[in-house]
Amino acid sequence: MVDRRQVLVGAAGAAGMLAAEAVAQTSPAPAAAPPESPYAVTYIEVEPARADASRRLLARYQEALGGDALKGGGALEFAVFEQIGRPNHFAIVEQWPSAKAREDNAASAASREFRSALAPLLIAPYDERPHFALSTGPQSTGTRAATPAAVPTAVYVVTHVDIVPPKRDEGAAEVRKLAEASRGTAGNVRFDALVQASRLNHLTLVEAWTDAAAREAHSAANPTRSFRSALGPISGALYDERLYALLK
């Protein structure tokens, strides 16, 4: 006669083994290491009455990097922009050979002195956001230097794109498609798409155009219209497009 207790214990053990196997098969793989983030995009807002002082401070810091940072693993780009129509709003776009080089610069004496001098002028926190590349053009485009030799009449655009997290991959694909369709079109000097390292559903577009007319024509072109239509339903915030001039 079969012992009923043995049958129950044996069945329970088999069920436990099957459950363990099922968990092992469905458990997600370990998360991949985050991509290298050698880019940074920084937004700066100062008191309107202190805009000139801030402009001089930014120019001195950029000049200091132009003198030293291009030597031996320094900045590949350090471009400073002033927002058109809002002269107390600035942006910095920088690229370094590695994330470590970017971090080393941020911790350097020159960077600490710059931020310390800028702090009393700010009306919002110094908003520095490390990024990595999603789709970028050749290194030789307009602003790729510590002291850019850009087209004098160029219009620069920095756009923050926020995608709802469940649609992150879909949104990133649309951003990549726009960048690749736009790069090198009439009047385009630069069109890069970057991903914010701390929030992968936040992306930044960095554009440069020969003039305002070229930028406006692009904004009405079919690839841009299609992109905005696709982005709308999966966007997590307003499409934050800001126009800039190169700091002189």
CA-CA distance, 190 to 144, in Å (whole number)? 10
Q: With cut-offs at 50, 70 and 90, classify the pLDDT of residue 35.
A: confident
CA-CA distance, 90 to 88, in Å (whole number)? 7
Residue pLDDT, tens place only, 50-79: 999 999 999 999 988 865 444 445 899 999
In the predicted model, is pLDDT for residue 3 greater than 60? Answer: no
Residue 36 CB neighbour total at 10 angstroms: 15
- Count Cα neighbours of 66 within 13 Å in the Cβ-side half-sphere: 15
Residue pLDDT, tens place only, 172-230: 999 999 999 999 999 999 999 999 999 999 999 999 999 999 999 999 999 999 999 99
Which pTM was predicted? 0.81
Q: Where are the domains of the chain?
A: 39-246
The answer as to CATH 3.30.70.100 being correct for domain 39-246 is yes
